[in-house]
Amino acid sequence: MSQVKIIDVTLRDGGYRNNFAFTPEYAGTTVGQLAEVGVYAAEVGYCNGSFVRKAEHGANSAVSPAYLDALRQAARGQLGLCVMVHPRNVDEGDLAMLAEHGVGMIRVCLRRDQLDEGLHTLALIKAQGVRASANITHVTTQPATVLADMAQRAESAGADVICFADSNGHMLPSDVERLITRTSRRVHTPLGFHAHNNLQLALANAMAAIDAGAEYIDASLCGMGKGAGNLHLAMLIGYLHRCDPADRHDLVRALQLSEDTARQVPASHLPAPLVDILLGTYNLPFDVQPRLDEIMARLHLSSTFQGLRALHEQNLLARLDSHGWAPARLAGGQQ
């Protein structure tokens, strides 16, 4: 367990809970206290937005030089700063700025449909002398062969870490173990795992990743994150202490910081929305709303739950149809 490096993603993924509007005071205090907890790094936001390039939300989605300088000072050299980027949102100048202002690792969202852009961004990051993480997203929507190819190409592009994200919260521990084990046979780059908690399996899945050899685990204060949220930082540290009483992370301080966050950020400690249970079960992405609206209107459905089930059936039929097996009846035709 001693090799586990925790990356806290509160100020990045947690931003989906409050429109990326963490105050500078909260961000600085949090980074300073995370350093005392003993986490490896704090992921402090996106650069130029989360999905498309724009000056959106708050400081945690813009990541300005002044913001980074303040957080670097708060960290006091005791933990690293990470920033997440979408390849189409950044250019070489943005990456140079991040490097100049103390970001030690830049994490690149790596998608199959934008793979070439992502690999190019990894190479540009390495040219800046900064560590690069290839974060392969939505892993449950891709065949194992595709994930293996993406990992190998990321390694060839210079990635220092390859992190798999269960973006839909759909994985079981056996899935995670199989993914990490198979990938470790194909690449030599250290592996990481980012869990979502749709089915309340974030900790179990992280445990499986650690047991299979993953070295980097993402977590957040109070489990803050997109949709149902991420792995709860204090729960992860509690597990590490349970396995090894000599674990170096400060569990009491992590719990105190979680308590402070729950008080200061009301959206940090929300119960899992019921819809997220279906998203995790049916392997549907968080941003499925446009498709959901369309199918509910077309089929005259009044319940979001019914609409998500209809979408799931539609996806199943599409997969069968790709093999020539689909029946003629449309998904959701019977309620």
pLDDT at site 334: 37
pLDDT at site 53: 62
pLDDT digits (tens, 9 = 90+) for 242-296: 999 899 999 999 999 999 999 998 888 877 778 998 999 999 998 899 999 999 9
CB 115 within 8 A of CB 150: yes
The whole-angstrom distance between residue 99's C-alpha and the CA centroid of its chain comes to 22
- The answer on pLDDT for 3 being more than 90 is no
Per-residue confidence band for 58, with pLDDT thresholds at 50, 70 and 90? confident
Per-residue confidence band for 312, with pLDDT thresholds at 50, 70 and 90? very high
Distance CA 320, CA 286 (A): 24
- The answer on pLDDT for 54 being more than 70 is no
Strands 80-85 and 105-110: parallel
Q: Which of 114, 94, 17 is nearest to 60 (CA)?
A: 17
**Tokens read off for 235:** 């729960």
pLDDT at site 174: 98
Query: Mean pLDDT in the chain?
Result: 91
pLDDT digits (tens, 9 = 90+) for 83-112: 999 999 999 999 999 999 999 999 999 999
pLDDT at site 332: 39
Per-residue confidence band for 51, with pLDDT thresholds at 50, 70 and 90? low
pLDDT at site 49: 78
The proportion of the chain whose per-residue pLDDT surpasses 70, expressed as a percent, equals 93
Count CB atoms within 10 A of the CB of residue 270.
13
- The answer on pLDDT for 179 being more than 80 is yes
Locate all alpha helices (DSSP H) within the chain, ordered by sequence: 24-37, 59-62, 65-75, 92-100, 115-127, 144-156, 173-184, 202-212, 233-243, 251-264, 274-282, 289-299, 304-322
- The answer on pLDDT for 55 being more than 80 is no
> How is domain 5-269 classified at the CATH fold level?
TIM Barrel (3.20.20)
pLDDT digits (tens, 9 = 90+) for 158-174: 999 999 999 999 999 99
The proportion of the chain whose per-residue pLDDT surpasses 90, expressed as a percent, equals 81
pLDDT at site 331: 38
Rg (C-alpha) for the chain, rounded Å, is: 20
